Amino acid sequence: MKKSSIFGLVVIAIAIAVIISVYSNTSSYGNFADAEKTTSELKVVGRLNKQKELHYDATKDANYFSFYMRDTLGTERKVVFTGTKPEDFEKSEQIVLTGKMVRGEFHASSILMKCPSKYTQDKIDTKEFKAKQQASI
């Protein structure tokens, strides 16, 4: 076999290995019940329970933030995030957490928030403006 053929096969094998490793590290979506059944990371979508306490004290530990969240099925769990509390966290409409369950708590490695649109107020004002404009005619 020629050296160029062997080199080509090695490059193809490395490319296949990289593709497999990239796809095996992607996490899938689920809920807290799914997270309890698996040891790999999972994305859980839910809403913040605003009636329960958010715990974040930057003076004691700036990398500890905990709160309670309900998933799409209504199951509530305590969430622990090892990082700083995201800005305007309480205003979020929906939260997507990536992480895994550890002793009944969901330990998140990342938080993605869906916040209220900043354009919603503009749309309301535009409707009011049009109504006022038509009333004056």
The percentage of the chain sitting over the pLDDT mark of 90, rounded to a whole number, equals 35
Distance in angstroms (rounded) separating the CA atoms of residues 48 and 69: 5
Distance of CA 62 to the CA centre of its chain: 20
For 44-88, the pLDDT digits (tens) are 999 999 899 899 988 888 899 999 999 999 999 999 999 888 888
Burial tier of 77 (Cβ tally within 10 Å: 0-12, 13-18, 19+) = buried
How confident is the model at residue 109, as a pLDDT?
92
Q: What is the pTM of this model?
A: 0.64
Mean pLDDT value across residues 28-50: 89
How confident is the model at residue 127, as a pLDDT?
56
Query: Any idea which residue has 């009011």 for tokens?
Result: 128
Superfamily name and number for 28-136: Nucleic acid-binding proteins (2.40.50.140)
- Give the three-class secondary structure for 134: helix
